[in-house]
Chain A
């Protein structure tokens, strides 16, 4: 997924090959991840697609089925992966993920600790942010989910950047081998206050911490615990409002077309006999907010380790 090997980076000349992971785009709300395999096919409502016909094409290509239907083959990115991955747990979405990466100040070379791994949605973006010299150590107390996450990271080519371990961070804290080495710690746990003292030991001076909690009671308790070793404690909510766009005609409300009422000036169409007729509509692209929106995902609490 990431160009850890510069030779594999996305370019006009990087063509789909056998074994590549592609995102098959049917519609904006209908996508899936497929590993290209020479003899395989993809079957959907548009027909049958042969993988062999995909090989050698550039990413972003439109490919056709036996029935003439089509899909697009996109290069995988952490954002697309978040939309197609299998949910073993509730995941973090793009708005929260982007903000976390920015606010934790994760850059190439950073060492980041995360618990819980969940479905690996955030982990994938963390890997992108620390690549190529950094590393993400992620911990989950659920052995099966840790295994599925490991498999996913193999599939997306991120195993060299992510280490998954089974560990109960609330009960045992982070492993002492990381003490004083972490640039950032991310917590998505039911009782993050139990893990905060350990997180404090892991962080470098002025290192950043983020805790994600759906409920305000969890936030309050976390903030209280953070007071001891942390400063600059801030809690946010972030949401995305989306817009729909269409081309439309706006009717001119002023029927007799004189501008005595201070209405908007409008164009006049010239008729074939040379006289002018009022142009009663203006074509333009209009945008308006979508009626539905996600109301809440969780609160994001950030803090910095106090300088001694």
Chain B
């Protein structure tokens, strides 16, 4: 595929992710930080996010599977996920975490379990999309092109 086409696909895809709320301005910030000295910056941060999130989601599953749910653990874990998703611009994951936190305060185990499912779902969605985005980036670079940037985020 030609570089032009790839770049256009990339821009279209990125735009749709922003429009649908999967990503927000913070992701744009990360893209801006990527440069020749660190051309894999976005991939590195996103990979860290995946690792970190997986760990937290696993911990949360274990905690919520207990007979006596330890809400302190949930209260420690959910903000971590909220924070890291916020830092990479994974808006929907972040919003799901906010809802989760509220139910955790109420100590409503069933609601928390539903929230966890919601967070997991949003996480898997954004993971899939980010992976697709990164693949497109890699295709562009492999074809000798530069990764275009959107200007529409703060």
Q: A and B from one assembly? A: no
State the B residues within 8 Å of A (CB). none
State the A residues within 8 Å of B (CB). none
